[in-house]
Structure 1
Amino acid sequence: MLRGAGILLPLFSLPGPHGIGDMGPAAYRFVEFLRDAGQTYWQLLPLNPVLPEYDNSPYSSTSSFAGEPAYISLELLAEQGVLRRSASAEFGAGRADYEAARAYKVKIIAEAERPKDLDEFVGRNEWLEDYALYSALREYFGRPWVEWPRELRDRDPAALRQWREKLRRRIELEYLLQYFFWTQWRELKRHANSLGIFLIGDLPIYLSLDSADVWAHRELFKLDAEGRPLYVAGVPPDYFSPTGQLWGNPVYDWDAMRKEGFRWWLDRLRYTLSVFDYVRLDHFRGYAAYWEVPAGEKTAVNGRWVPAPGGELLERARDELGGLKIIAEDLGYITPDVVELRDRFGLPGMRVLQFAWDGNPANEHKPHNHVKNSVVYTGTHDNNTIVGWFFREASPKARREALEYMGRRSAKDIHWAFIRLAYFSVADVAVVPMQDFMGLGPEARINRPGTRGGNWVWRMTELPGRALARRIRRLARLYGR
């Protein structure tokens, strides 16, 4: 990756009139802010559809290929003249309201003119037929596919044909939603790239059981005859969690993946790398070995490590895709095999400044231990803001160490001190969450892992101004970013 700096900001966190950040005018103005601030990268979270049952988490999506309809901009559709009625209602400027925004937008888009090249779009995206049917069926039954009638759960061809006809209008609406989503996204990406801004996306390692992908490719997962997981994903007990973390996602049947030449995985990587310029592989250690827990366990204690063929997969991907524009999320319990896998393919890893202050001079997150081929963060979407972390979570010992390391006696403007640490790092890329540039506290946190409610909803009330862009740009120039 080019030496540079970037800002981490989810799409839903942008301001806008319709209840959630979207791909409309604010997104274009933010890209121009990035340019004015001397930035090279915009890092986002997954753009896939979310469900309220799963706290609207972008890491528990119903598809790894589809886009979330709430992110479609009605303003842009109105400018293009495809809407038959105007979008007059406006929502409050508070937290992201996925359900209200989606319902409002879908109702208006349902009446939009049908694009002439819609059929071509559907034919070009092989995943869309299964996803559109899945969305229609899930809406009809109101529950995951494992609870549908047996013939639909097991994808009986005659039943699928019957229901495709029965739900034809809802399926065609989904085609329209995905058309508008991906048309707008491609235009936004083209605009960003034209200004010298590269987009960094995020690829969750696991899928939700409640997804079109698992329903359509049951043979690639460790499931029983009724489609329920035999094993689920998680991480083992550690210093921070004596019972580990039980995520509940179905795990892959890597032997079945290997037999089909990793085709599904290669299609997923190819598609995601066409959507973004670079992709962060979430839970990278799971590509070397993953923690597998028998279904029905209440905690992750009784799991086991199972080797994964990440090397084979990445080798095939490198050969077929012509390179790997990938960042390895190598956080957590990292063993030598994970490091070897990352380094074998020359993938940049991650360094997070909030993790540096344990009294150990050899801590790899301390700036003097950073390496060029890495991405340094003040914090990620799973961390508190710097202000929230420093004053609410960091121990007194960690605070003292951080201040001494930076040669400071005061914690005034502590967020800027951490940003400066990231920028002068030797790491090729420095990424800072927008909230840290704004000096916001815990109220602006994106996600608290292991909790439900209040996550994935923080929004800016307005875009930052020129003064902040100039300050960031000076810092970027000072440190050769």
Structure 2
Amino acid sequence: MYFRISIVLYTLVERIELDIKKSSGLIMHPTALPSKYGIGDFGNTSKEFIDFLEETSTNVWQVLPLGLTSLDEFSPYSSPSSILGNRYLIDIEQLDGFDNKNYNVENFSKEYVEYKKVYDFKDLVFKDLSQTINPDDEIYSNFLNEELIKQHITFLALKDLNQTVWTSWDNEYKEYSEKLFEKLLKDESNLMNFHIFTQYEFFKQWNDLKKYANDKKINILGDIPIYVNHDSADVWLNKEIFELDQSGEMEFISGAVPDSFNQQGQVWGNALYKWDNHKSSNFKYWKEKLNKSLDLYDYLRVDHFVGFFKFWAIPTGESALNGHWREGPRHDFFESISQDVDLTKLLAEDLGVILKETKEILTKYNIPGMKVLQQRIPDDVEDLPFLGDTEVIDKESLFEEASDDYFEETHPNEWDYNLAAYTGTHDSPTTQEWFDEVNESKYRNYKEYTKTLKNSFNNDVWDFIALVWESNSQLAITTTQDLLKLDSKARFNIPGTSENNWVWRLEDLKNLEVVKEDLKTLNKSTDRA
């Protein structure tokens, strides 16, 4: 069974379906690509990266969410809008008028993203080039015909205007209206022009880049977080479907249950959904959001998929240890959205405790799940994952719901076909880092696994990659860092921390030349070309 893929070009609703057979891919967020402006963008280096994928017969480029990030932690999973794009990914050299200006380009680091420095520089360029646009021009008026775009741009403008969370805004800004949008166009024209211009350019450049990839038979795997920020356009526009008190504040927030990776659990701090109200609206919000994302990507990874079945609710201001389980919408959600969303384009991030009902849904709607090899190498001395204090967390009921294969580790050769297999993800250690820290029993079991390899590179990291590639899984994916055998300095994110994440960059695409032939050979020998 194949993913069914759609290409949707900018402002068009023309769908061209493609088949993805047994394939391979690389995780490479655009921010990590080389660029002289301090952050990767949609310019020539993105095209050169796509060329590398084509030349190595690698046919999937996986990216993290492409939305705007918060201005403190810069996480792509923390955004003021689930609809709009990250303007800092715009290639400023493609902008009309850029060549006629003489901007003082900073001496940016090539090794990591200096976010505040980059954002200040690019915003200066955007403000300069956006002030002469006319929102009534055909290209912008057509762009603003989409109501969601207008609504979310209005929120961004109000955020800039008020410099506070939306719950503190004056009453005239508490609700969206067409009248409010028109008022801002008139009274705050420079601010509105800035956001209209940058969002138009984001979507234009991204869709041009996506077409370049699709023309080379490279498909884009996007990513959508299950939760959104409380201080976001999503919550401001849809208060009735989020769990808020009368003043719009959160009494409970999202997070992760304590486990073997983090015994204190994680406090994410997102707004929780009021699922009964979603059901009453026939899950309209989710249908719009998923379809909008599928306009941007060929297919879509849904983060924290288990949250549709069971989720961890934490009292605001308290530790994750004080959270409790709540029930998600389960079958009702998928039965409803399957009427309007092509679920075969989705990939479920179902890591952690996999519930039996989750497996049933994945099978029913042909949605691939995930396996991460770093997490699936057995440890002879390891017990079941730590799940917190028994008085706090009902471990027994959770394990009763867990699917049978949660408790079993099998060789990748025995993994299912309807699956995306990974060496690691953006949240994992690099595989070199994993080897640097792995205990003796796991390393011994890994070496036992490698005895089946038909493609051995006499290198632990590349043999690890080969184990994933030789699996039966439909998709085999690794990170650019793993291709280059990079250590902990190249790790992209450490969950539960806020310092020095999302900053790693590839200094030069020429660094990939040394692995080109090995990757091409591996793809062909495993029938993934």
Q: TM-score, normalised by structure 2?
A: 0.84
1:407-418 pair list within 5 angstroms? 407=451, 413-418=459-464
Name the counterpart of 1:475.
522
Deviates more, 1:142-151 or 1:426-435: 142-151
Name the amino acid aligned to 1:107.
Answer: L
Task: Provide, for residues 262-310 of structure 1, a one-character-per-residue CA deviation record: whole Å limited to 9, x for no partner.
Answer: 11110100010110001001001011122222333x2123333222224
Q: Work out the CA distance in 2 between the residues paired with 1:67 and 1:476.
A: 32
Name the counterpart of 2:417.
372
1:30-429 pair list within 5 angstroms? 30-53=49-72, 55-77=73-95, 84-87=100-103, 89-90=105-106, 91-112=108-129, 114=133, 116-153=137-174, 165-296=186-317, 298-359=318-379, 363-364=408-409, 366-392=411-437, 394-407=438-451, 413-429=459-475
Q: Work out the CA distance in 2 between the residues paired with 1:67 and 1:86.
A: 26
8 Å contact from structure 2 (residues 484, 512) kept in 1: no
Q: Work out the CA distance in 2 between the residues paired with 1:117 and 1:151.
A: 30
Q: Work out the CA distance in 2 between the residues paired with 1:372 and 1:323.
A: 17
How many pairs align? 475
Alignment CA distance shift 1:155-1:197 (3 Å): closer
Alignment CA distance shift 1:117-1:156 (3 Å): closer
Deviates more, 1:207-216 or 1:153-162: 153-162
Deviation, structure 1 residue 240: 3.8
User: Secondary structure, in 3 states, of the residue corresponding to 2:121?
Assistant: helix
Q: Work out the CA distance in 2 between the residues paired with 1:76 and 1:242.
A: 47
Deviation, structure 1 residue 218: 0.8
Deviates more, 1:19-28 or 1:129-138: 129-138
1:451 to 497, 500, 506: 497
User: Secondary structure, in 3 states, of the residue corresponding to 1:327?
Assistant: strand
Deviation, structure 1 residue 453: 1.0
Task: Provide, for residues 10-55 of structure 1, a one-character-per-residue CA deviation record: whole Å limited to 9, x for no partner.
Answer: 01000001010000100000000000011010000000001222x1
Alignment CA distance shift 1:8-1:270 (3 Å): same
Name the amino acid aligned to 1:470.
Answer: E
Q: Work out the CA distance in 2 between the residues paired with 1:259 and 1:456.
A: 38
Alignment CA distance shift 1:442-1:121 (3 Å): farther
Deviation, structure 1 residue 95: 0.9
Name the counterpart of 2:35.
16
User: Secondary structure, in 3 states, of the residue corresponding to 2:417?
Assistant: coil
User: Secondary structure, in 3 states, of the residue corresponding to 1:124?
Assistant: coil
Task: Provide, for residues 404-444 of structure 1, a one-character-per-residue CA deviation record: whole Å limited to 9, x for no partner.
Answer: 32139x99621101111011000011001000001100000
Alignment CA distance shift 1:420-1:156 (3 Å): closer
Q: Work out the CA distance in 2 between the residues paired with 1:259 and 1:107.
A: 45
Name the amino acid aligned to 1:253.
Answer: K
Name the counterpart of 1:26.
45
User: Secondary structure, in 3 states, of the residue corresponding to 2:314?
Assistant: strand
8 Å contact from structure 2 (residues 300, 346) kept in 1: yes
8 Å contact from structure 1 (residues 364, 370) kept in 2: no
Deviates more, 1:286-295 or 1:19-28: 286-295
8 Å contact from structure 2 (residues 343, 365) kept in 1: no
Deviates more, 1:180-189 or 1:315-324: 315-324
Alignment CA distance shift 1:3-1:177 (3 Å): same
- Alignment RMSD, CA only? 2.4
Name the amino acid aligned to 2:105.
Answer: A
User: Secondary structure, in 3 states, of the residue corresponding to 1:372?
Assistant: coil
Unaligned runs of 5+ in 2: 4-20, 381-404
Deviation, structure 1 residue 160: 7.1
8 Å contact from structure 2 (residues 150, 181) kept in 1: no
Name the amino acid aligned to 2:43.
Answer: G
Q: Work out the CA distance in 2 between the residues paired with 1:239 and 1:442.
A: 20
Task: Provide, for residues 206-263 of structure 1, a one-character-per-residue CA deviation record: whole Å limited to 9, x for no partner.
Answer: 0011111111111110001111112211222334444422211111111111111211
State the percentage of identical aligned residues: 31
Q: Work out the CA distance in 1 between the residues paired with 2:66 and 2:410.
A: 29
Deviation, structure 1 residue 313: 2.9
8 Å contact from structure 1 (residues 74, 87) kept in 2: no
Q: Work out the CA distance in 2 between the residues paired with 1:470 and 1:75.
A: 32
Q: TM-score, normalised by structure 1?
A: 0.92
Deviates more, 1:281-290 or 1:179-188: 281-290
Deviation, structure 1 residue 83: 5.7
Q: Work out the CA distance in 1 between the residues paired with 2:473 and 2:178.
A: 53
Q: Work out the CA distance in 2 between the residues paired with 1:327 and 1:364.
A: 21
Deviates more, 1:9-18 or 1:287-296: 287-296
Deviation, structure 1 residue 139: 2.0
Q: Work out the CA distance in 1 between the residues paired with 2:342 and 2:424.
A: 31
